A and B are shown apart, each in its own frame.
Chain A
Amino acid sequence: MTEKKFKVEKTYEEINARIKAGEAVVVTAEEMVGIVKEHGAEEAARKVDVVTTGTFSPMCSSGAIINFGHSNPTIKASRVWFNNVMAYAGLAAVDVYFGAAEVAEDDPLNKVFTGSFRYGGGHVIEDLVAGKKVKMRAIGYGTDCYPATEFEKEVTLADLPYAMLLNPRNCYQNYNCAINLSDKTIYTYMGTLLPKGKNANYCSAGELSPLFNDPLYKTIGMGTRIFLGGGIGYVSWQGTQHNPAVPRLDNDTPKKPAGTLMLQGDMKQMSDKWLKGISMQGYGTTLAVGVGIPIPILNEEMAAYTGVSNDDLVTQVVDYSYDYSHQVARNYGEVSYAQLNTGEIEVNGQKVRTAPLSSIVKAREIARILKEWIEKGDFLLAKPVHQIPDK
């Protein structure tokens, strides 16, 4: 493999030395748009050391690994619930995993349509990081070494010996813009979609979104240190459904959902400001996760990547009444995030109202917080130990 030659070349070590010395120039991905427009990528790469990104939106495939410590007498828990939300206990005696989409056991679900799904795994995670008491129940079948067959107690995050947020798929690189072309309202994980394409929902932080700023995963990889739920976390692998081989624009950003990341971090550092239990009417529960990823401006290529604006990023309009659920590969047009953010797009010659599901205000706040952390010298960049697949 031949390495490309760049006019500007910086290493992680050099950038970290500047961070430690309090000299690093850190800007948010929104600020970078203007800098690259004004000065060009090469000059921007000389000026800027790090670009911070952010996103805050519902992210399915999030969950928590908990070790709840041994009781006396000991138990080999085979079924565990937190606030009546079931956890998977088939890992060991007192290790469990529960996911954001697991709904509380007494929830009426969609039996009376539309279900409101008031409480689920995402809410348990929010309650734990908020420091609230959570009711835990465990049952086991009893063994010689673990004789107890059940116990119940109230726990807080501080009581748990180990609590890790482990999200198998976060930070989707781009996502569909969802519409409903049928003649009845549908309730989806993309929100409530009115009949006959009356509204369209989309879900990406656009120019602030991490993987839109590093479209071919050149700096974001295994081991990248990130802002996760208000604490420090890491990228540990590519996420489930990671699919880099999709059509891309000239700026290398994907035209449809592509890469994903698996993220993890210590829940004890996190806060309920950045992890929120979510109830999607008629669909279920999930977790809104705040993620911020720093991108080192190693060269003019990274400067150009991080300089993309909402005008340069596109997605596809997909029908969720039939096509999505029946895996029909069809779309109703390509729209830019700048268009989506105006509140109106055109589909089949008809004006359609758009609404985001991903909070731009919060994404911006995360990018700012991460910028401050780096400026203060508290947060150094980690060089990935391994790239995630780019094809």
Chain B
Amino acid sequence: MNTKIYVLHFPKETGDKPIICELVKKYDVDFNILKATILPGNDGLMVLELTGHRSNVKKALEFLQNYGVKIEPISTIIRRDDSHCIQCGACTGICPTHALYLDRTDMSVLFDPDKCTGCGLCVAVCPVRAMEVALGQDIVSEA
């Protein structure tokens, strides 16, 4: 089983179609909508967690792309500004997936975007705001 979080940009024409419903039926994947918003211009934005067999998830994503949905992994949404990070380690205690972790040999703080689920906890915890949410909107941190 494979769980990953994706950011989906829906073009406005798809607004009235039950795409997610169809996706679940057709491809046997579980989903969890972490966030859904309508952007100005009626484009939609959704942060979706997909769990399923790797091959099913892949097919599901292709299905979405056929509808014109643009897909990004969440890791491109959360990033660390390394020039700001002071390597303190405060984030490593709360990151649920250990995407932020310490290299025990020299106590440097590393960020592995592939493990990040975009929960946003580190954004507020980081004392120098080195963890950034891209996209120009706080899709994850603010409710």
Contacts and interface: CB of A to CB of B under 8 A. Distances in A.
Interface of A: 56-58, 114, 116, 118, 191-192, 194, 199-201, 276-281, 288, 341-343, 353-362, 364
Contact of A355 (B87, B89, B108): B89
A359 B86 contact: yes
Interface string B81-114: 0000011111111100000001010111100000
Contacts of B128: 276-279, 288
A361 B93 contact: no
Interface string B11-32: 0000000000000000000000
Nearest to A280: B127
B104 A355 contact: no
Given A58-B127, A201-B93, A280-B127, A341 B86 contact: no
A200 B93 contact: yes
Contact of A361 (B87, B90, B124, B127): B87
30 contacts: A58-B127, A191-B93, A191-B125, A192-B94, A192-B124, A192-B125, A199-B93, A199-B94, A277-B128, A279-B129, A281-B125, A288-B127, A343-B92, A343-B104, A353-B93, A354-B93, A355-B89, A355-B91, A355-B102, A356-B89, A356-B102, A357-B88, A358-B88, A359-B86, A359-B88, A360-B89, A360-B106, A360-B107, A361-B108, A362-B87
- Smallest CB-CB A-B distances: 6 pairs: A355-B93, A360-B107, A356-B89, A199-B93, A361-B87, A278-B127
Contacts of A358: 88-89
A280 B91 CA distance: 12
A357 B109 CA distance: 11
Contacts of B89: 355-360
B117 to A, nearest CB: 17
Interface in B63-87: 86-87
A254 to B, nearest CB: 22
A276 B91 CA distance: 17
Interface string B103-143: 01011110000000000000011011100000000000000
Interface residues of B, number: 20
Contacts of B94: 192, 194, 199, 355
A144 to B, nearest CB: 47
A359 to B, nearest CB: 4
A356 B127 contact: no
Given A58-B127, A192-B94, A280-B127, A359 B104 contact: no
B55 to A, nearest CB: 34
B57 to A, nearest CB: 30
A359 B87 contact: yes
A356 B88 contact: yes
A192 B91 CA distance: 9
Contacts of B88: 57-58, 288, 356-359
A280 B124 CA distance: 8
Nearest to A277: B128
Contacts of B92: 343, 355-356
Q: Which of B91, B104, B107, B129 is the most central at the interface, judged by chain A CB atoms within 10 Å of its CB?
A: B107
B127 A342 contact: no
Contacts of B124: 114, 116, 192, 281
B17 to A, nearest CB: 38
Nearest to A355: B93
A357 B106 contact: no
Contacts of A361: 87, 106-109
A341 B90 CA distance: 13
Contact of A342 (B86, B91, B104): B104
Contacts of A56: 86
B138 to A, nearest CB: 12
Q: Which of A194, A201, A354, A359 is the most central at the interface, judged by chain B CB atoms within 10 Å of its CB?
A: A359
A342 B103 CA distance: 10
A180 to B, nearest CB: 11
Interface in B14-60: none
Contacts of B90: 191-192, 201, 355-357
Q: Which of B86, B93, B102 is the most central at the interface, judged by chain A CB atoms within 10 Å of its CB?
A: B93
A343 B102 contact: yes
A56 B87 CA distance: 10
Contacts of A116: 124
Contacts of A357: 88-90, 127
A300 B107 CA distance: 30
A4 B86 CA distance: 42
Nearest to A363: B107
A278 to B, nearest CB: 4
Nearest to B108: A361
Given A201-B90, A359-B86, 11 more contacts: A57-B88, A58-B127, A114-B124, A191-B90, A192-B125, A278-B128, A343-B104, A353-B93, A355-B90, A361-B107, A362-B86
